[in-house]
Amino acid sequence: MAVREQAEMLWMDEGEDQTGFMTAVERSRRRRQLEATQRPALEQERSTRREQPAHQRSGTRDDLAAALERAATGHGGARPLSSGFTGPLPASDEDVPLVHVVEARVTFEDLVLTAENTTLCREIIREYRNRGRLAAYGLRPRRRLLLAGPSGTGKTRTAEALASSLGLPLVRVNLSAVVSSYLGQTARHLERILDFASRSQCVVSFDEFDMLAASRDDSDHGEMRRVATVLLQQLENYASDNLVVATTNHADLLDEAIWRRFDEVLIYRMPTQKQIAQLVKIKLRRFEYKINQEQVAQTMSGLSHAQVEAVCLDAMRAAVLSGAELLTTEDLQSSTAARKKRFREAGKSLG
């Protein structure tokens, strides 16, 4: 399916659905609103800084970054975050924030997905948006999703695109803070996160959630299973219809009993040559190029989506710096060869 068609399928739906997708105007209104809630914190930070003599101001960039982070997440203060979230972020027993709330900007137009995943995402968006109608029949939308597949195939980006298509903030779980060597503490952290997330509409992402078991030295299938089971038990009691998206690069660590407890599992694979060609077109869309798509896709075969993106960026950077007016097949082929060589040398043969 052409990328354009995919995008249209996702963005357009029957009448009732169209109104719920965020228009550009609505999106920029929300962005302004979000910025307005963050402004007081930033201004306070700036005025404190102005009162300080220059020599006492240290680590300028880090301080500013920290202020921005605080303003953006509300951690350490009771400022409204965005879209209905108020109060401090949930924190671990060690007082580390357990989540970051972000506004995702990626859309499905930026992604090349399989036809199956495109359809699933479309259905999931539609069910969420029509959850009221479903509830009238005692039904709930599919909301616990597992995205599984190799690294760099678009799992994290899909979670973001789901949030941005629905116009919802993305609550990104900070797994390294969640994990504790005590299962009870991990469970407590997960409970706080779900409690926080149920206060407002949002998409919750447990990115690379296999990490939940990774901090244990004795990490094995058994441990992974126990932690995943705790999470899934909590999700079963989670009253909210908010989407919860877990991603994993290590689907082999999850057994069938775990898979079955998600409402839907989306499988990600390395791109086909046709998908590589679509991907190149998307990645080069702000650039002049004249290429033989088939040849380029063939050269890039074996690369993940993320690696195709990296090659396109390499080629664009080189073209800009050499003053070339347009990108050619040879440019992309030589960038691909250079990347593949570096990967091989790094011991990661791409075949």
Ligand X SMILES: Nc1ncnc2c1ncn2[C@@H]1O[C@H](COP(=O)(O)OP(=O)(O)O)[C@@H](O)[C@H]1O
Do 308 and 329 form a contact (C-beta atoms < 8 A)? no
Q: Which is nearer to ligand X, 34 or 104 (CB)?
A: 104
Give me the least distance between CB of 249 and Mg ion, in Å please: 7
Out of ligand X, Mg ion, none, what residue 134 binds, judged by CB under 5 to 8 A for its kind, is: none
Q: Which is nearer to ligand X, 81 or 163 (CB)?
A: 163
Give me the least distance between CB of 247 and Mg ion, in Å please: 5
Residue whose C-beta lies closest to ligand X: 154
Q: How many CB atoms sit inside 10 A of residue 58's CB?
A: 8
Out of ligand X, Mg ion, none, what residue 309 binds, judged by CB under 5 to 8 A for its kind, is: ligand X
Give me the least distance between CB of 154 and ligand X, in Å please: 3
Out of ligand X, Mg ion, none, what residue 6 binds, judged by CB under 5 to 8 A for its kind, is: none
Out of ligand X, Mg ion, none, what residue 333 binds, judged by CB under 5 to 8 A for its kind, is: none
Position 88, amino acid: P
Per CB under 5 A, 164 contacts Mg ion: no
The helix (H) or strand (E) run that includes residue 113 is: none
Q: Which of 83, 90, 164 shows the shortest CA–CA distance to 121?
A: 164
Give me the least distance between CB of 328 and Mg ion, in Å please: 32
Q: Which is nearer to ligand X, 187 or 246 (CB)?
A: 246
- DSSP state letter for 97: B
Q: What does the angle CA 280 – CA 281 – CA 285 come to, to the nearest 5 degrees?
A: 115
Out of ligand X, Mg ion, none, what residue 144 binds, judged by CB under 5 to 8 A for its kind, is: none
Q: Which is nearer to Mg ion, 41 or 120 (CB)?
A: 120
Residues that bind ligand X (CB under 6 A): 111-113, 151-157, 247, 268, 279, 305-306, 309
Do 306 and 276 form a contact (C-beta atoms < 8 A)? no
Do 178 and 124 form a contact (C-beta atoms < 8 A)? no
How far is 120 from 104, CA to CA, in rounded Å? 20
Per CB under 5 A, 156 contacts Mg ion: yes
- DSSP state letter for 219: -
Q: Is residue 170 helix, strand or coil?
A: strand
Out of Mg ion, ligand X, none, what residue 74 binds, judged by CB under 5 to 8 A for its kind, is: none
How far is 166 from 203, CA to CA, in rounded Å? 9
Interaction mask 114-153, Mg ion, x per CB under 5 A? ----------------------------------------
- DSSP state letter for 169: -
Strand 264-267 and strand 144-148: the pairing is: parallel
Q: Is residue 30 helix, strand or coil?
A: helix
Per CB under 5 A, 304 contacts Mg ion: no
Which residues of this protein are in contact with Mg ion, per CB under 5 A?
A: 155-156
